Amino acid sequence: MSHIKSALLFPSPKTQVDRDVYNEIQDIVRDIASILNNGLLFEDNFDGLYVDYTSNATPDTEDTVSHGLGRVPTGFLVVNLDKAGIVYDGGTAWTSTNIYLKCNVASVATKIFIF
């Protein structure tokens, strides 16, 4: 994978104001290049968070899953399951503190990304 260069190709600044602006822009470009060259994480790019959730011991029973978004989520992605199962919306309206999920298999440990 090639790296993003962090140097600007501009003519030499002639005044102190030009030098100050050039240096500020150079610092910003260096910071952005560093972030991009080190790789971006999924959660760095989306307004959401990961939550671990284990489904109820009785299949298709609604579970309350707490989250810390501080707003009503718009959805979730199942990232990992410890066994085959389908996680789905439980039917109760989501709130700024909880979502409600069901799973068709008992006691499935999952990691979900709530957004």
pLDDT single digits (tens) 39-94: 777 777 788 999 999 999 999 999 999 999 999 999 999 999 999 999 999 999 99
Query: Residue 8: is its pLDDT beyond 70?
Result: no
Closest CA to 101 of 70, 41, 43, 81: 81
Residue pair 73/48 in contact (Cβ under 8 Å)? The answer is: yes
Query: Residue 33: is its pLDDT beyond 90?
Result: no
Query: Residue 1: is its pLDDT beyond 60?
Result: no
Here the tokens at position 69 are 């978004």
Residue 6 is assigned to a structural domain of this protein: no
Residue 95 is assigned to a structural domain of this protein: yes
User: Is there a single domain that holds both residue 31 and residue 54?
Assistant: no
Closest CA to 53 of 3, 88, 21, 18: 88
What's the pLDDT at 42? 77
Task: Give me the domain span that covers residue 20.
Answer: 12-41
Between these two residues, 3 and 94, which has the higher pLDDT value?
94
User: Is there a single domain that holds both residue 56 and residue 88?
Assistant: yes
- Residue 12's pLDDT band, with cuts at 50, 70 and 90, is confident
User: Is there a single domain that holds both residue 69 and residue 33?
Assistant: no
